[in-house]
Amino acid sequence: MYAYGVRLPDPPLPLLITGVAGVAGYNAFYYFRYRYGDRVVGMRRADNWPLHDRGIVGCDVDDRASLEKLFARYRFRGVLHCEGTCKLKSCELDPFLAWRVNVLGTMNLVELAREYDARLVHLSIDLVFSGRGSGNYREDAPTDPVTVYGKTMAQTERIVLAEKPDSAVLRISLPMGISFNGHAGAIDWIQSRFRKGKPATLYFDEVRTPTYTDCLNRVLHAVLVRPISGLYHAGGPRPLSLFQIAQIINRVGGYPPELLHGCLRHQAGPIPPRAGNVSMDSSRLAEALGFAPFSPWPWDEQWVPDGRDWHYGRGGRRGSPELLASVLYRNPLLDRLGLVKEPIGVRRQRQAC
């Protein structure tokens, strides 16, 4: 049973949401800002000036002095930590930068959340696993990341759980929603290639468990308001390879099928190293929340590939960017339930895509 339409209590306010340049943080910011207005503050890197809107402030999470001033000004009661340097190649080439933002930044937030007695929900990632096995990871599986990014995120998990044990750590996968710049995140990056008539090459053997940001926003709200602590997997119920995800975007968007190429991970070169099947079992989270946290992405099974040439088939409903926006960026279940409201900023951004 999904929890759409059920009113959740207000989260701890004022609420700080870090990492609003990322897909998860960006969509969460507008979800909460739409509901709670000025009591929600979004934080992006100080030098990321193109990302600006009411309620978004520039502050580096690894800049302790600036972060202290932000907490002193707003006295946050809740912190949703979505910040992280996640560009795999950049992290491999500059491990110190990855450590400074991902690890040191998290340490700063943990200490300030403890000082202000703020509820902390920290987002980690499925890439703390190597994916060498058959996937379907549970929370008690040992971490064995193959990337610097994954290693730093595994370290942040240990810090949060040890230093503020009443916090919740959620390992997410690929959040499927819009990005602020139109080319970050899985859908926007792949679609931006196809829209420009450029090819995109994705992996047959990297498997993730994507989620609609519509679902993830609701889950984050539920976790913030409940006394849930510890480590939880927050991946969707439908595992898909990166190639399959690109197939879906290609066909639903109505783009030329020949633009999509596929390969195995080892054919792409050594940097950055790629994980394999890092699909997750999120049943522990469902049990803690008391409802199924995620609809499958995509929601409609007609858009699930059944072979490597599936995206060449163009029978049935004709694909278009407008169709993609309605069934891949947004969970169609919301429309079926008559729950179509969304933040104006997000609607404006989606229409511009």
**Distance of alpha carbon 326 from alpha carbon 331, whole angstroms:** 8
Annotated domain spans of the chain: 15-352
Long-range Cβ pairs for the range 318-325 (8 Å, 24+): 318/254, 319/251, 319/252, 319/253, 319/254, 319/255, 320/253, 320/254, 321/191, 321/195, 321/253, 321/254, 321/353, 323/252, 323/253, 323/254, 324/187, 324/191, 324/249, 324/252, 324/253, 324/254, 325/350, 325/353
The predicted structure's pLDDT at residue 3: 64
State yes or no: cis peptide before 14, omega within 30 of 0.
yes
Give the pLDDT of the chain (353 residues) as one tens digit per residue.
Answer: 566 667 899 999 999 999 999 999 999 999 999 999 999 999 999 999 889 999 999 999 999 999 999 999 999 999 999 998 767 778 788 888 889 989 999 999 999 999 999 999 999 999 999 999 999 999 999 999 999 999 999 999 999 999 999 999 999 999 999 998 888 889 999 999 999 999 999 999 999 999 999 999 999 999 999 999 999 999 999 999 999 999 999 999 999 999 999 999 989 877 789 999 999 999 999 999 999 999 999 999 999 999 999 999 988 789 999 999 999 999 998 877 766 555 544 444 443 33
The predicted structure's pLDDT at residue 4: 67
Q: Indicate the SS3 state at residue 124.
A: strand
297: its two tokens:
């992405």
Phi, psi (deg, nearest 5) at residue 263:
-160, 170
β-strands 230-234, 168-172: how paired?
Answer: parallel
**Distance of alpha carbon 224 from alpha carbon 78, whole angstroms:** 8
Question: pTM here?
Answer: 0.94
DSSP 176-231: ES--SSSSSSHHHHHHHHHHTT--EEEESS-EE--EEHHHHHHHHHHHHHTT--EE
Fold of 15-352: Rossmann fold (3.40.50)
The predicted structure's pLDDT at residue 165: 98
